[in-house]
Amino acid sequence: MKKLIQKTTGYMAAAAILVSFNACEQANDVTPDAALSAQNVAEAHQTNSMNLHQTYTVQLMELNGSGVSGMAQIDLMGDMIEVDLEASGLTPEMEHMQHIHGFTDSNKNAVCPPMSADTDGDGLISLVEGIPYYGAVLVPLTPYPMADATGMVDFMNSFSITRAARPMQNNVIVVHGMYVDGVYDPTIPVACGQIKVMNQSGK
Ligand SMILES: [Cu+2]
């Protein structure tokens, strides 16, 4: 059911893009003789697409006493994002899952879970215990990086996003994976940060 909803949302986003392209073509068609007007229309469209450029920053703070910290920057261009993420204090030479988490209901804001999220009282916030706060995985930030020998990760990649991931500042980034009682738990959250708008101008 959830998958179906996400699929439907994707189709709606695609339909919206098609409609906006059609609108542009029609606007060009109604000014066939006026070169200057056509140029103005073209510039207006360029301005619209420029407005889709937005930069976000994320300060990653430790969860579960992991000692992990880091920073991320997200550049949104239309329906593409480029994610730069640097973190330290991770379990060395282990893979760390990292995701943009949030709610597909765009009115609901994802947050990093407080210690009170530990409902079973074992002293740790599990992946599942965090979901009421940070929601589901919206964008897996793959390929999941391996921390180096000093526990650092330096990651960059680009992803296409659906409407479910908007607005971006309603989401958080969660990094996972550390040893719990001598066993590596790849799912346990070790860092989290709210996605925040860095600029409004689009430059
Ligand atoms: Cu995650």
> In terms of residue numbers, what domain contains 18?
2-51
CA of 11 to the centre of ligand 1 (A): 25
Q: How far is the CA of 77 from the centre of ligand 1 (A)?
A: 23
Is 63 found in the same domain as 27? no
**pLDDT for residue 129:** 98
Residues 155 and 119 in one domain: yes
**Domain shared by 114 and 176, yes or no:** yes
Are 115 and 163 found together in one domain? yes
Query: Is residue 41 a part of any domain in this protein?
Result: yes
Q: Would 155 be classed as within a structural domain?
A: yes
CA of 29 to the centre of ligand 1 (A): 47
Q: Cα(39) to centroid of ligand 1, in Å?
A: 46
Per-run averaged pLDDT (10 residues), the chain, 203 residues: 40 38 36 44 46 90 98 96 98 98 88 97 97 97 98 98 91 98 97 89 47
Give the pLDDT score at 106.
67
Question: What is the distance in A from the centroid of ligand 1 to the CA of 201?
Answer: 30
Output the CA 190–ligand 1 centroid distance in Å: 10
Answer yes or no: do 114 and 29 share one domain. no
Find all residues with CB under 8 Å of 120, minimum gap 6, and list them.
Answer: 126, 129
What distance in angstroms lies between residue 64's CA and the mean position of ligand 1's atoms? 14
Residue 31 pLDDT? 36
What's the total number of domains in the chain?
2
Q: Yes or no: say if 172 and 193 are a contact pair by the CB < 8 Å rule.
A: yes
